[in-house]
């Protein structure tokens, strides 16, 4: 058995990201990175720009520019943080929620088709992926202690 899982996972992730970006730009006029940001805001609830930057693994100025564009497009609401400072509280607008839901469904259907064509049972692939993610989260939490 070839032991090159780390490279294969990197290549697979990069290809999936590029494919998603092409699809979303063509069908929804939004980049995949902006869609991921909207998804994280939706999942995290009323998040701050700092939390979003940490979740995306990018700088706060980068997130500030991205959130300004998403707010101008009517997809994101960015309000001053009641705690003060130069922080913004983020939440999805109704249009943002509709877009995220629509895109998630479409991407999920496409991914399910690719997985099915590979001969891997979709439910098994989803279960094993969730298991790997949960293990990484547990190991990161243990390392932080």
Task: State pLDDT tens for residues 55-66.
Answer: 898 998 999 999
Tens of pLDDT, residues 96-119: 999 999 999 999 999 899 999 999
Residue by residue, DSSP assigns 33-70 as HHHHHHHHHHHHSSEEHHHHHHHHTS-HHHHHHHHHHH
What is the domain partition of the chain in residue ranges? 16-144
Q: Does domain 16-144 have CATH number 3.40.640.10?
A: no
Which pTM value belongs to this model? 0.84
Residues 35 and 106: beta-carbon distance below 8 Å = no
pLDDT at 82: 78
């Amino acid at each position: 058995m070839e032991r090159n899982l780390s490279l294969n996972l990197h290549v697979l992730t990069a290809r999936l990201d590029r494919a998603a970006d092409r699809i979303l730009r063509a069908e929804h006029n939004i980049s995949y990175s902006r869609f991921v940001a909207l998804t994280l805001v939706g999942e995290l609830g009323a998040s701050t720009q700092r939390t979003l930057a940490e979740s995306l693994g990018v700088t706060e100025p980068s997130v500030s520019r991205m959130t300004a564009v998403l707010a101008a497009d009517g997809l994101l609401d960015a309000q001053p943080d009641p705690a003060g400072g130069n922080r913004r509280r983020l939440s999805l607008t109704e249009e943002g929620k509709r877009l995220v839901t629509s895109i998630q469904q479409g991407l999920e259907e496409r991914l399910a088709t690719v997985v099915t064509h590979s001969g891997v049972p979709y439910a098994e692939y989803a279960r094993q992926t969730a298991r790997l993610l949960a293990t990484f989260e547990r190991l990161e939490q243990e390392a932080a202690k």
